[in-house]
Structure 1
Amino acid sequence: MTNLDVVTFGEPMVMFYANHPEPLHAANSFSRALAGAEANVACGISRLDLQVSYITKLGNDSFGKFIIEALNRENVHTNGILFSNSHSTGMLMKSKVLQGDPEVEYFRKNSAASTLSMNDFSKADFTKARHLHATGIPSALSNDCHHFTQNVMNHMKTHGKSVSFDPNLRPSLWKDKKTMVDTVNKLAYLSDQFLPGLSEAQTLTGLTNPKDIADYYLAKGIKTIVIKLGPEGAYYKTGQEEGFVPGYKPNQVIDTVGAGDGFAVGFISSYLEGKSISEAVKRGNAIGALQVMSPGDMDGMPNRKTLEEFMQQQQLENIADLPTRLSQEI
């Protein structure tokens, strides 16, 4: 396996999501799907015809088999996935809502993925790729996973690979806020492209203004900061430029989970294609909007054709709305 575009690692899980809008404890009918932030990104990258590998450890159980088959259907390389006979594969349950965020309950403590350690590290699994995407989630699972994350990020940087990092803060997985902030920030400093949401960045820095937040991380040596602002769009800054890219308007918001992962897919794929930062942010915004229009965590991840059609349609709608907007501004 050579010429990989992206490699990522983390904990994929089996997700059972309710088919009807009601409290999670009252739900009786569920559908099953693959879930996990890094898995979402891997599948999204693959759907855009880039070569991506996913590294993890699964239980030698039916859930693990389901995940492998799901990743293979998405054409994600799974050669680096290990199996454990002593730990099971994690799972989660999610409610269905008509607006706002769904209820989510995780069953992942002591999962196989949480035992991923330096004993499982294979340089070849990572060095074959030209880009690493990492998140803050694995470091919250165990000390072994944290050391694995640190080592992988340092390894890729040492070998001249680019590294993107999404904090993906999960406060419930950390023992306290200070540990979370300190650990995630130190990982962020190892990245080339840092992709936090605004509320996450505010939690990590204590600052409120996107420009101040970007300056804070630029001073730590990160090359590009992109701060996601939800439906409004995203702000970016590098050592040479800064800007704001407005968001795309979803036709209907069905489920907000996975929007940030969709943004990462758009940004990373554009970056690897040599597009400008603003173009990369624009594609990230578009895929984030597509994600919230779908019920599953990765159902909205588009192929090239769907993505281009959505972006073109939005552009046409914006042009059509221009006279109305101008008359309102006069």
Structure 2
Amino acid sequence: MATSHFPGPEILTFGEAMAMFVADTSGELAEVECFHRRIAGADTNVAIGLARLGFRVGWLSRVGEDGFGTFIRHTLEAEGIDCRHLYTDPEHPTGLVFKERALGGADPNVTYFRQGSAASHLTTGDAKDVDFTALRHLHATGIPPALSPSARELSLHVVEQARAVGASVSFDPNLRPSLWSSEADMRTTLNALAARADWVLPGLAEGRFLTGHDSPEAIADFYLERGSQAVIIKLGREGSYFRGCLGGQQESFTLPGVTVDAVIDTVGAGDAFAVGVISALLDGRPPREAVRRGNLIGSLAVQVVGDMEGLPSRESLATLENERPVR
């Protein structure tokens, strides 16, 4: 669908989307014969979640000139995402990922084929046509800067451009140690990006690794002292922790997680949490309601197979929030 004559997106996300093949049966990938095709990518999970909630979301990336790239483009456009900044790279392939079917709520093993992918060749030039003045919000993760030096330059560039026009910025570290040359490089780069974000959303283990602090309070203070407005830390089944100053009021609290009957697939839960927090803050909701929404949408994600299949529409979310009011 042509989008160049429509207003630019109010939310921009960027990174790498991959074609994902999920095993139909449990067991090691070597023994699996049949897979279902889906798309994968932390950044696209958030983009899809926000689009389903009615926001005008744009996606900046590259895919290969291949069937997998076409599949990703069609899937994102079907979700209502503005793909005017999704470029087709004729020289490099779309990344692939294969995921095992885990049992009993365990984290599934995944195997990536993304080295030298189209998205790893992103550059600052890919953002030259972005209308940053139209942005309300930019969501960034720690994955694009891990892909290549040029993708790292793009990450810093778009964050600075969004800040310059007054758009809010959220940052989820999404640690991928295997993509980095060293842990020190990963830590330095991601902390620099986090310091440029208004809202930082690490998991507890991520926060401990990046800051060297153990407690949620100390992790949050690390980023608040460097300029962030709020830090929301994912605590897994225990819920999440908020510390920051939004709307002129300093707050610090923990909200318990939402109990689910059965955990099916944990991949994408953190992205779903980000969808909840970001959407609520952009809706003008107070921090406690934003964290509660994050916990709620995160709980939906773990109850289905696939990274983004559990993300709700605005209507279904409203029903769930009415059933589970913030206390």
Fold match by TM threshold 0.5: yes
In 2, the alpha carbon distance for the partners of 1:65 and 1:27 equals: 26
Bigger mean CA deviation after superposition, 221-230 or 301-310: 301-310
In 2, the alpha carbon distance for the partners of 1:29 and 1:306 equals: 32
1:76-131 deviations in Å (ceiling 9; x for gaps): 11111111110010010000011210010100001000000012222534432210
The structure 2 residue matched to 1:60, chosen from 65, 71, 78, is 65
**Which residue of structure 2 lines up, in the alignment, with residue 208 of structure 1?**
214
Unaligned 5+ residue runs, structure 1?
A: 320-330
> What aligned pairs does 1:224-263 form with structure 2 within 5 A after superposition?
224-239=230-245, 240-263=250-273
Q: Larger helix proportion, structure 1 or 2?
A: 1
1:113-167 deviations in Å (ceiling 9; x for gaps): 0000012222534432210000000000000000000010011001111000000
In 2, the alpha carbon distance for the partners of 1:96 and 1:314 equals: 31
CA shift for structure 1 position 313: 4.3
1:15 and 2:20 equivalent? yes
In 2, the alpha carbon distance for the partners of 1:295 and 1:72 equals: 21
CA contact (8 A) 1:248 1:314 kept: no
The structure 1 residue matched to 2:121, chosen from 105, 115, 124, is 115
**Which residue of structure 2 lines up, in the alignment, with residue 286 of structure 1?**
296
In 2, the alpha carbon distance for the partners of 1:5 and 1:273 equals: 13
CA contact (8 A) 1:57 1:82 kept: yes
CA contact (8 A) 2:85 2:126 kept: no
**Which residue of structure 1 lines up, in the alignment, with residue 157 of structure 2?**
151
In 2, the alpha carbon distance for the partners of 1:55 and 1:3 equals: 12
Q: TM-score, normalised by structure 1?
A: 0.93
Q: Which amino acid aligns with 1:225?
A: V
CA shift for structure 1 position 311: 3.8
Unaligned 5+ residue runs, structure 2?
A: 1-5
For 2:82, what is the secondary structure of its paired residue? coil
Q: Which amino acid aligns with 2:264?
A: I
**Which residue of structure 2 lines up, in the alignment, with residue 72 of structure 1?**
77
**Which residue of structure 1 lines up, in the alignment, with residue 3 of structure 2?**
none
**Which residue of structure 2 lines up, in the alignment, with residue 129 of structure 1?**
135
Q: In the superposition, relative to structure 1, how do residues 11 and 220 fare at CA in structure 2: closer, same or farther (>3 Å)?
A: same
In 1, the alpha carbon distance for the partners of 2:9 and 2:68 equals: 27
In 2, the alpha carbon distance for the partners of 1:163 and 1:153 equals: 7
Equivalenced residues, count: 317
CA contact (8 A) 1:80 1:125 kept: no
1:183 and 2:189 equivalent? yes
The structure 2 residue matched to 1:6, chosen from 11, 22, 25, is 11
Q: Which amino acid aligns with 1:247?
A: G
For 2:298, what is the secondary structure of its paired residue? helix
Indicate the percent of aligned positions where both proteins have the same amino acid.
45
CA shift for structure 1 position 5: 2.8
CA contact (8 A) 2:60 2:127 kept: no
CA shift for structure 1 position 232: 1.1
Q: TM-score, normalised by structure 2?
A: 0.94
In 1, the alpha carbon distance for the partners of 2:153 and 2:8 equals: 26
**Which residue of structure 2 lines up, in the alignment, with residue 31 of structure 1?**
36
In 2, the alpha carbon distance for the partners of 1:21 and 1:84 equals: 35
1:81 and 2:90 equivalent? no
**Which residue of structure 2 lines up, in the alignment, with residue 323 of structure 1?**
none
**Which residue of structure 2 lines up, in the alignment, with residue 168 of structure 1?**
174
Q: In the superposition, relative to structure 1, how do residues 181 and 78 fare at CA in structure 2: closer, same or farther (>3 Å)?
A: same
For 2:10, what is the secondary structure of its paired residue? strand
Q: Which amino acid aligns with 1:27?
A: V
**Which residue of structure 1 lines up, in the alignment, with residue 306 of structure 2?**
296
Q: Which amino acid aligns with 2:83?
A: T
